[in-house]
Amino acid sequence: MPQSHPQRATEPRAHAERPARPRRDHPEPAHPRQRHGGPGPAGFRRPDSRFRQWVLRTSSRAVTNISELYRVHPAIWRWTARHFHPGLERFARLNAWMICQMANLDVPAYQKWLREHDFVFRWWKLDNYPETDKRGYVTRYSEDERCWNGEIVTIGTVVDESSGSSGTPFNWMRGKKEQRTIHSNVAGYVTLLFGSKRLFCLNAFSMGAWATGTNTGQAMSKIAMVKNTGPDLDKIVDTIRHFGPRFTYLVAAYPPFLKHLRDRLDQEEWFDWSRYRMNGFVGGEAMTEGLRDYVEERFGRVYSGYGASDLTIGMGGESDVSVWLRRSMYADDRVRAALLGPDETRIPMVFQYNPIETYLEINEHDEVVVTLNSTAIMSPKLRYNIGDEGRIATFPEVYAALAFDPELQRAFHRAFAVQRMKLPFLFLFGRKDSTISYMGANLYPIDVENGLYRDNPFAPSIESFKLALIEVGDHEQRPLVHVQLRSGASLDAAHRESLAVAAKRGVVSHLASVSRDFAQSLEEDASTADIRVEVHDFDTGPFAGGSTKIKNVYVVES
């Protein structure tokens, strides 16, 4: 981004014989964004602010250029992951501060956002910048206002799409440089897990405008042969039959689809698992350890990735040591208490992430706040609150937390020795806004509520509802809608069944009409419609003791 310097205005010479002409050499704005309608940087109140802006812009470029060296080749990414030092976390935080300040200099929407929050410049204080989010920041400002210099670079830019609770799709632009960054990160991570020798990726994520499907195919093409099949079992089976066992297959899909593929290949008489190298990489929803065990009876390795449409697909990923940590928390309450605290009963997903690329913070509400540390992001994400609940810990902190049992530390080290990534850990509990992720779609309480009352003759009998994901056997999960009847409502068994049928029909119909992600999954996999409904008397089951609460709680706590 070119620098600009304010030009000194000169007074036109006055002549007695004619009036002075209008001035044409007005001072150039202190920053190039002001030429495009931006208000200028926020928080500078001293006379030396212009010089300070120049220093910040120059130093910020230098820091971000240094941080981006590790993306040059997947081998450098792998080396960085294996030799990550906690001191690099401080460098990553500095880079995040630099990115935020560069946005203050060059992003019109962010300038307005900071002014609205009475931002005052402070050296090195990242948390001095207010959080951004989808509702408060993204929906309020246009796409070009949220870009560097207020300009959308069209050549090479790809637009991804995700659906919100209103049914109105969000469009997320990813420029050519940003895509290269994503591909570089994915390449480094995937080759660390699975290698790159004769790797053949079968991309079974939903295609179309959905971010994960399109981006996964593009990213994998940098390190592997790719076929974008979508979640089509027949197409994948035909592809494996055609190419045979000479490749290492990597199936990228939702967790349930990997289970369906395993079952289908078990039924194929021609397919011999011992002759094929099959691995899995999943995303879009949480994966249970029971499902992982079931799939890995046939597949070599299965890992989950963590990403979001409004940020990037490569925010974090599982490794052998992160999987070991999660399984250990299930098996040993001492491990869970040491890592999460004695009062935490939930078991989160566990990922490792690279702060140099994706700097994570946890705010006072235990929400994950993300800054993407790259100027290649055309519409920068700056202390962006994604709405997920989580905790973070460095590699040494996790190792030290297991010091109460030396055998556990030795087991931790054995798991670490597989990929040898010393990256910090993210313990992810899931969405904090009461949504449930299912088959690549987010199920919002407001949409479920609309569906419950849609053409439902029993709607007057409904008091409230809650959502859950339940195991339904055979390592499958399904959404469950718990419906609470009103106090005094009297429905016999037949009417309760009719209420459940009407509620399921309404919820599926409404979700299909407002969520393109859900509609796409429904078209590709009929089991998406298998949403369960259970009817409860007032103040019973998951609603017991809830009548005294002012606000409804929409998700059943596990």
How much is the pLDDT for 53?
67
- Please, what sign has the CA dihedral across residues 549, 452, 532, 306? negative
- Mean pLDDT (the chain) is 82
Higher pLDDT, 56 or 313: 313
Q: Which two tokens stand for residue 319?
A: 């490794």
pLDDT tens, residue by residue, 122-156: 888 999 999 999 888 999 999 999 999 999 988 88
Taking residues 47-54, report their average pLDDT: 64
pLDDT reported for residue 50: 67
Question: Is the predicted pLDDT of residue 80 greater than 70, yes or no?
Answer: yes
pLDDT for position 48: 55
For residue 452, the model assigns a pLDDT of 81
**Reported confidence tier of residue 46, pLDDT bands at 50, 70, 90:** low
> Which pTM does this prediction carry?
0.76
Q: What is the pLDDT of residue 384?
A: 96
Q: What's the confidence (pLDDT) of residue 417? A: 93
Report pLDDT for 259. 85
Give the pLDDT band of residue 37 (cuts 50, 70, 90).
Answer: low
Beta-carbon contacts of residue 547 (< 8 Å; ≥ 6 apart):
538, 539
Q: Is 109 exposed, middle or buried (0-12, 13-18, 19+ CB in 10 A)?
A: buried
Question: What integer pLDDT is reported at residue 6 of this predicted model?
Answer: 38
User: Does residue 5 register a pLDDT over 60?
Assistant: no
Give the whole-angstrom CA distance, residue 517 versus residue 130. Answer: 31
pLDDT above 90: residue 310:
no
Q: Is 80 exceeded by the pLDDT of residue 93?
A: yes
What separation in angstroms does the CA of 340 have from each of 11, 285, 360?
Answer: 67, 22, 17
pLDDT band at residue 533 under the 50/70/90 scheme: very high
The per-residue pLDDT for range 442-501, each reduced to its tens digit, is 787 777 877 887 778 887 788 788 888 888 777 778 889 999 887 878 888 899 999 999
Residue 412 has a pLDDT of 96
Out of 69-83, 277-291, 390-404, the most confident range is: 390-404
**Which region among 66-70, 170-174, 318-322, 412-416 has the lowest average model confidence (pLDDT)?**
66-70
pLDDT digits 0-9 by tens, 216-250:
888 888 888 999 998 899 999 999 999 999 999 99
Band (109; pLDDT cuts 50, 70, 90): very high
Weakest-pLDDT range from 44-58, 308-322, 419-433, 456-470: 44-58
Weakest mean pLDDT among 385-399, 421-435, 462-476: 462-476
Minimal CA–CA distance to 77: which of 354, 472, 474, 433? 354
Burial zone of 446 (CB within 10 Å; 0-12 exposed, 13-18 middle, 19+ buried): middle
Q: Measuring CA to CA, how many Å separate 150 from each of 103, 105, 243, 380, 430?
A: 11, 11, 48, 11, 33
pLDDT at res. 45: 65
Q: What's the pLDDT band for 396 if we cut at 50, 70, 90?
A: very high
pLDDT of residue 120: 85
pLDDT tens across 327-381, in order? Answer: 999 889 899 999 999 888 788 899 999 998 899 999 999 999 999 988 888 899 9
- Average pLDDT over every residue of 189-215: 81
Q: Is the pLDDT of residue 3 over 80?
A: no
Q: What percent of the chain has pLDDT over 70?
A: 84
pLDDT at 8 over 50: no
List all residues 6 or more positions away from 352 whose beta carbon is below 8 Å from its beta carbon: 81, 316, 317, 318, 319, 321, 322, 421, 423, 424, 425, 426
Mean pLDDT of the 154-180 span? 76
